[in-house]
Amino acid sequence: MISAPRTSTLVSSLLPAPDAAGRAGLRAAALVVVGVAFLALLAQLRVQLGPVPVTGQTLGVLLLGAAYGARLGVATTGAYLLLGAVGLPLFTGAQGGVAYLLGPTGGYLVGFVVAAWLLGALAERGWDRSAGSTALAMLAASLLIYAFGLAWLRVALGGTWLQAVQVGLVPFVVGDLVKLGVATALLPAAWRLGGRGA
């Protein structure tokens, strides 16, 4: 599934990297900063439902992973977690610190990095060009986020798998399907607007 030939990502197509290595590094660093700010902003859009809030972060991870590609997506989500862990108020509720990262939502946050990698790898193989393949890629990434999140939540709350699913999955399905739909619509549309889509 991930072994198809590589194509360009949305960001590399719309904003080609300069030829000079130093400029390419500067471009990548700037994109990471923009991506971290984007995730931090979307983290503040929240509705608290029990120990795990509904936020815009998942939408941000879906969009960044697919638009940035695997390497830059992982760098961005990893930088977001690292900067939040050292105390910058990037997480939901303008919170930061290791304690927040190790709390009930920590697994979802770690899952963001893996989801960004998967989406980026699939986007590099053209999965972000049509609504159907984009939806499948987004669904797979969302399931990865849930896998990490639910496993972590179960341990953090000391409950059963059923309790973790009831608290950390069921209340979020509708909201996450909406976010998945938005991301699925935006990516192929962005490719068409850029004139390079499928």
User: Domain locations in the chain?
Assistant: 10-194
Contact 147, 71 (CB under 8 A): no
| Average pLDDT of the chain, as a whole number | 89
Contact 145, 107 (CB under 8 A): no
Instruction: Report residue 75 as tokens.
Output: 């760098």
Contact 135, 62 (CB under 8 A): no
The 3-state DSSP class for residue 56 equals coil
Helix axis angle, 70-85 to 57-68, nearest 10°: 140
The per-residue pLDDT for range 125-145, each reduced to its tens digit, is 999 888 899 999 999 999 999
The per-residue pLDDT for range 36-66, each reduced to its tens digit, is 999 999 999 988 766 677 889 999 999 999 9
Which of 13-22, 51-60, 170-179 has the largest mean confidence?
Answer: 170-179
Q: Residue 171 carries which side chain, given as an amino acid letter?
A: P
Question: So what CATH class is 10-194?
Answer: mainly alpha
Percent of the residues in the chain that have a pLDDT greater than 70, as a whole number: 88
What span, in angstroms and rounded, lies between the C-alpha atoms of 44 and 129?
29
State pTM to two decimals: 0.87
Helix boundaries (H) for 18-130:
21-43, 57-68, 70-85, 98-101, 106-123
Q: For residue 109, what pLDDT is reported?
A: 96
Q: For residue 13, what pLDDT is reported?
A: 72
Task: Provide the CB-side half-sphere exposure for 101 (13 A, CA).
Answer: 18
